[in-house]
Structure 1
Amino acid sequence: MKRRTLFLSAAALVLAGSAASAQQLSLNEVSNYLNQMQSAQGGFTQINGDGTLSTGQLYIKRPGRIRFEYNAPDNSLVLAGAGEVGVFDPKSNQPVERYPLSKTPLSIILDRNVNLGQARMVTGHTSDGTSTTITAQDPAHPEYGNIQMVFTANPVELRQWIVTDDVGEKTTVILNDLTKGASIPDSRFNIDAEVARQR
């Protein structure tokens, strides 16, 4: 499976929660919630493009930091910190893959000041009365892909998201028991420290 796709897809996880409402959530509500979020952790189940499943644990520390730990038999790790993404894939026998956080949709929702209301960022915003779906992209670089997030109400929760990456591959992620306000050390988001630890 493509680690870059997995990382981009999981980005939308941080959008869980907001004021309970049976109506469509506004972009301002979601932006405000993200800007108030400090940290969170929980499990996730991922449906990959080929139909296989992956599971693991997610850790978030805003702004700009996120970590995905994939369970066996995958055992891979993806994390972001200091403006970089690091992909550790033990099956590849290759060094950590690095690329700028700014080249993923994560830069939208992990930014210090999230504003989903800015021009051309949100390309879809709909409600069926029980759930709200928001599709977002980097307005300067739509070629990086997009994130489609589905929320339910009472209380508002993010139930799933679908990422379409830069080559059109789709990945679905389902959130399990996200806990906000978790105490997470900064070292969990240090790519160089993880490289040294795995040597």
Structure 2
Amino acid sequence: MSQKPIVSVAAKSLSGKSAKPSFKSLFLKSVAIILLALSLAGKATAEVTPLALKGADKSDILRVQKYLNGLVTLKSRFLQASSTGNFAEGTFYLSRPGKMRIEYDPPVQFLIVADGTWLIYHDKELDQITHLPLGMTPADILVQDNLSLLSGELIVTKIERGPGIIGITLVRKDDDGGQITLIFSDKPLQLKKWIVVDPQGIKTSVSLLSTQRDISFDPKIFNVKLKSGTWTPGDK
């Protein structure tokens, strides 16, 4: 799996070092980017067939929409797994609208932050920043204000139900073949997992564990600290 199209076409990166990253660093970096930013390198859009919504489908979509719009803050441990065989753990922070932090446990040396405008990837080993417009990534679905799942910008392609479980698969209308599936426990409705599939078919899942809602965060956790100081949008 190569992360070159994502970095060179879809994002800009900053680095004060010329050292080459290790294979492990490149591999884990590509998994992290896939998690929250489907490849934007392709110009052609795929044909997407919207799900023919029945009454129960629309009702569940609106319940999920209301739940997501009702989230203010959330903190959770997570387990990330990729179809390439990679696993990682860490802590997930959400502060709506706009803010998110995915902090991986050691020995993984990277951090993902949404600051309201950018989705920022920090390679701590290289002290390097890569960033993408937040609105062009699946992360935007979790952090945007007044989310609408029936607006036409997002297309529902599948709804799955199991005992106490609801899963909704979404694509953007101008997407190039990737998708995100949000999985919720039911009664009460609670986000439990998301699965991102990139245009090459690589699947990355994130399972949330021990979730806490409506807690206070230090706003500084949504800043990115470089060895040279705090990264700001002006550094782009």
- Under a length normalisation based on structure 1, what TM-score does the superposition of the two structures give? 0.81
Distance in 1 of aligned mates of 2:148 and 2:170: 11
CA RMSD of aligned residues (A): 2.3
The answer to whether 1:179 aligns with 2:212 is: yes
Change (3 A) 1:108 1:157: closer
Q: What residue in structure 1 maps to residue 188 of structure 2?
A: 155
Render the CA deviation track for 1:113-147: whole Å, top value 9, x for unaligned: 111122352111232343211001222x2227221
CA contact (8 A) 1:105 1:144 kept: no
Q: State which of 28, 33, 36 in structure 2 corresponds to 1:7.
A: 36
Q: What residue in structure 1 maps to residue 75 of structure 2?
A: 41
The answer to whether 1:28 aligns with 2:53 is: no
- Provide the secondary structure at the position in 2 that maps to 1:96: strand
Structure 1 unmatched runs, 5+: 10-22
Distance in 1 of aligned mates of 2:191 and 2:69: 16
Structure 2 unmatched runs, 5+: 1-27, 39-55, 232-236
CA contact (8 A) 1:108 1:137 kept: no
- Of all paired residues, the percent bearing the same amino acid is 27
Code of the residue aligned with 1:190 in structure 2: it is N
CA contact (8 A) 1:105 1:145 kept: no
Render the CA deviation track for 1:46-75: whole Å, top value 9, x for unaligned: 112321210000110001110011001103
Render the CA deviation track for 1:76-103: whole Å, top value 9, x for unaligned: 1100113101111234x25211111111
Code of the residue aligned with 1:68 in structure 2: it is I
Code of the residue aligned with 2:114 in structure 1: it is A
Distance in 1 of aligned mates of 2:177 and 2:145: 20
Distance in 1 of aligned mates of 2:144 and 2:192: 22
Code of the residue aligned with 2:33 in structure 1: it is R
Greater CA radius of gyration, 1 or 2?
2
CA contact (8 A) 1:104 1:144 kept: no
Distance in 2 of aligned mates of 1:170 and 1:26: 25
**Number of aligned positions between the proteins:** 181
Q: Which moved more, 1:141-150 or 1:95-104?
A: 141-150
Q: State which of 148, 162, 168 in structure 1 corresponds to 2:201.
A: 168
Question: Per chain length, whose mean CA-contact separation is higher, i.e. which structure has more relative contact order (CA < 8 Å, sep 6+)?
Answer: 1
- Provide the secondary structure at the position in 2 that maps to 1:142: coil
Q: What residue in structure 2 maps to residue 113 of structure 1?
A: 146
Distance in 1 of aligned mates of 2:64 and 2:187: 15
CA contact (8 A) 2:79 2:87 kept: yes
Distance in 2 of aligned mates of 1:118 and 1:103: 16
Change (3 A) 1:144 1:100: farther
